[in-house]
Amino acid sequence: SQTIHQWPATLVQPVGSPLSLECTVEGTSNPNLYWYRQAAGRGLQLLFYSVGIGQISSEVPQNLSASRPQDRQFILSSKKLLLSDSGFYLCAWSVEDRSYNEQFFGPGTRLTVL
């Protein structure tokens, strides 16, 4: 069966520090991968998605970047965190399907920037 892992689960970082969040998927090949952010009490904002190794699409211009160094690994990074980067970050995956495009979500990383 497929599983998705995110780490760390929680993170407290000072403003201006770098960030690296990691997401890995097991049990599937060539998945589409996604990073979402959920601000406190808000909905989901798609940040990046990737349809293959090294292929990254950015949905919203911002202080963050994403990379996909391996088929089942997706990394979210920042060189200098801002207070507004605080939130709950969710990774998700999906596989191409002609019927529907269900996405499966990881447990999330709660980031607090102080």
Q: How far is the CB of 37 from other proteins (least distance, A)?
A: 12
* Cβ within 8 Å of residue 109, ≥6 positions away: 6, 7, 8, 9, 10, 11, 21, 88, 89
Alpha-carbon separation of residue 27 from 14, 74, 78, 85 (angstroms): 36, 15, 28, 31
Fill in the DSSP letter of residue 84: G
Q: Is 29 an interacting residue with respect to other proteins (CB under 8 A)? A: no
Fill in the DSSP letter of residue 71: T
What residues numbered 94-113 form the site for other proteins, per CB under 8 A?
94, 96-108, 110
Fill in the DSSP letter of residue 98: S
Nearer to other proteins, 19 or 47 (CB): 47
Choice from 13, 22, 51, 73 touching other proteins (CB under 8 A): 51
Fill in the DSSP letter of residue 83: G
Q: How far is the CB of 43 from other proteins (least distance, A)?
A: 4
Choice from 29, 40, 43, 61 touching other proteins (CB under 8 A): 43
Q: Is 46 an interacting residue with respect to other proteins (CB under 8 A)? A: yes
The amino acid sitting at 88 is F
The site for other proteins (CB under 8 A) is made up of 32, 34, 42-44, 46, 49-51, 57, 90, 92, 94, 96-108, 110
